[in-house]
Amino acid sequence: MIKQQLNQKLLQKLSPQQIQFIKLLQLNTLSFEERVDEELLENPALENGKDDDFDQDEPEEIIHETNDELDLSDYMSDDDGGVQLSGDYYPSEEEKEFMPVVYFSSFRERLMEQISGLLSSPSDQLLADQIIGTLDDDGYLRRPLSSMKNDLLFTQNIQTTVDDLARILKIIHGLDPAGIGARDLKECILLQIERRQKSGNNPVYKLAFKIIDEMMDDFSKKHYSRIIKKFDISEAYLKEALDFIAKLNPKPAQSGSEGHVSKDYIIPDFIVKESYGKFDISLNSKNAPDLKISKTFSETLKSYEVSKERSSQQKDAVQYIKQKLDGAKWFIDSVKQRQNTLLLTINKIVDMQREFFLSGDEADLKPMILKDIADAIQMDISTISRVASSKYVETDFGIFLLKDFFTEGITTGSGLEVSNREVKKILKEAIDAESKSKPLTDEELKLILHDKGYPIARRTVAKYREQLNMPVARLRKEL
């Protein structure tokens, strides 16, 4: 017998607008501007109102109609529907309108140009296209040739053999930059050494080849005594070979003008300027458009609304326009909410780290975690985490990653709580100044910190050293 039961549950669900706000919040300035451009293209009810005046009032509540009637004043009012995304930090209109665009051909395109005259048939060209297209951004061929053979068969109906692919790969190994198309680091270095050997009969090149070819594992772990014993050479001779190997490129596709050129420009999301002890804090919204509801789109809806006779097509058009207007209004309100959240967060960070923004000295950074900011502005920790993610702040002392201002606290021997950034700074300075022939162990680094008043454990030293991307003492050793 089937029994009916009545259960009551309390569920928390995010509205589509809240989801949109969350997605916008975690974007940095460049990605946000791209998202705005994308929305302008997708939604005809949204337009760039750069030349219109903007009222700074808070956005009104969105009204969702449940019938066919729609109050156009919600969409056509000049003081409700616009959001200014351009700031005062860039006063020059010329700077706002133009951004330099630099074109770089990819390393794959240059490889195709080089190999075009070295192939004897169209079928070889297809194999070369497949191999070069499979190279990763460092220039390595990570996919086995046997798998590539299957790829060609199933995706392009091209039958080939592993031997044919290996033949084309050998041609690619002869292209510039040296080391391109290698299957692993060992092959990459050997290809570069072979290229150097062709330019001159240098015994150091031969020794370097033998070290990598026969003792790659000992080389990577810096077991130099084993290499000296194996080849019966002096330490000075080994050092020459090691110096030569160190000049080779482990990522051939990223070798400057010869390889894959990646230009990463840091665009600050916040600007903090200090003047006589006071801070001018603003958002950097360079080249972002001003958003407003399209009057043309709204007037089209109004013409449908006043029409006495409606066909099914007109009703569909009215429904489509209402959806687009709602979507545009939601997006504008999400952008405003994003701006308010960003400003609230950066203002509180500057307030809590005031000493650092006045001096620029990392020693003045106070211990601060996400929860401190979240509690101060009464927001969720996840919201603050999204704000801090991949965003930068421009100060009088340079550009800093926002998340770097969040640090753990350490209590000194005198009972004073300081940021762990100060400890990391001391660690880095000690390692940079150490003798590379006898690098400092974690135990020795711990004693240095103890002498400076930071009584932390050796495992904590190891953790901070790893966060600084510095290897253990044995791997920092040099001859």
What b/e readout covers 459-473, taking b as 16+ CB neighbours within 10 angstroms? ebbeebbeeeebeeb
pLDDT at 182 over 90: yes
Task: Please tell me the total number of residues recorded for the chain in this structure.
Answer: 479
Task: Dump pLDDT digits (tens) for 85-118.
Answer: 444 434 444 443 434 444 456 788 889 989 988 9
pLDDT for residue 308: 60
| Average pLDDT rounded to a whole number, residues 209-230 | 93
Q: How many C-alpha atoms does 18 have within 13 Å on its Cβ side?
A: 5
pLDDT at 271 over 70: yes
Question: How many helices (H) and strands (E) would you count in the chain?
Answer: 21, 8
Amino acid at 53: D
Pinpoint the alpha helices (H) of 353-441.
354-359, 370-377, 381-388, 420-433
- Picking from 179, 174, 351, 177, the residue whose alpha carbon sits closest to that of residue 279 is 351
Opening angle at CA 317, ends 315 and 318, nearest 5: 65
pLDDT for residue 369: 86
pLDDT at 261 over 80: no
Report strand pairing: 278-283 vs 291-293: unpaired
Provide the β-strand partners of residue 410: 418
The CA–CA distances, whole Å, from 278 to 350, 359, 396, 455 equal: 11, 13, 13, 36
Choice between 16 and 477, residue whose per-residue pLDDT is larger: 477
Strands (E), 218-321: 270-275, 278-283, 291-293
Written as six digits, the tokens of 476 are: 């920092």
> Which structural domains are found in the chain, ordered by start?
15-59+67-102+266-407 (no CATH), 107-258 (no CATH), 409-476 (1.10.10.60)
Provide the β-strand partners of residue 360: none
* Residue that has been written with the tokens 């705005």 in this structure: 36
Choice between 260 and 369, residue whose per-residue pLDDT is larger: 369
Q: What distance in Å separates the CA atoms of residue 160 and residue 357, rounded to the nearest whole number?
A: 63
Phi, psi of 243 (to 5 degrees): -65, -40
* Residue that has been written with the tokens 């953790």 in this structure: 463
By CB atoms closer than 10 A (0-12, 13-18, 19+), residue 14 is exposed
Amino acid at 84: Q
Residues 6 or more apart in contact with residue 205 via CB below 8 angstroms: 193, 196, 197, 244
pLDDT for residue 316: 79
Question: What radius of gyration, in Å, describes the C-alpha atoms of the chain?
Answer: 31
pLDDT for residue 209: 96
Residues 6 or more apart in contact with residue 57 via CB below 8 angstroms: 79, 80
Q: How far apart are the first and last CA of the chain?
A: 84
What b/e readout covers 230-255, taking b as 16+ CB neighbours within 10 angstroms? eeebeeeebebbbebbeebbebbbbb
Task: Dump pLDDT digits (tens) for 327-360.
Answer: 888 888 888 888 899 999 999 999 999 998 998 8
Report strand pairing: 278-283 vs 270-275: antiparallel
Task: Dump pLDDT digits (tens) for 416-438.
Answer: 777 788 888 889 999 999 998 88
pLDDT averaged over the chain? 81
Opening angle at CA 336, ends 335 and 338, nearest 5: 65
* Residue 342 contacts residue 259 (beta carbons within 8 Å): no
Residues 6 or more apart in contact with residue 436 via CB below 8 angstroms: 476, 477, 478
3-class secondary-structure state, position 301: helix
CB atoms within 10 A of CB 106: 14
**Four-point Cα dihedral 146, 209, 245, 262, nearest 10:** -20
pLDDT for residue 11: 56
Residues 6 or more apart in contact with residue 409 via CB below 8 angstroms: 367, 417, 418, 419, 420
DSSP-assigned letter for residue 362: G
DSSP 68-127: S---THHHH-TTSS-B----SS---HHHHH---------HHHHHHHHHGGG--SHHHHHH
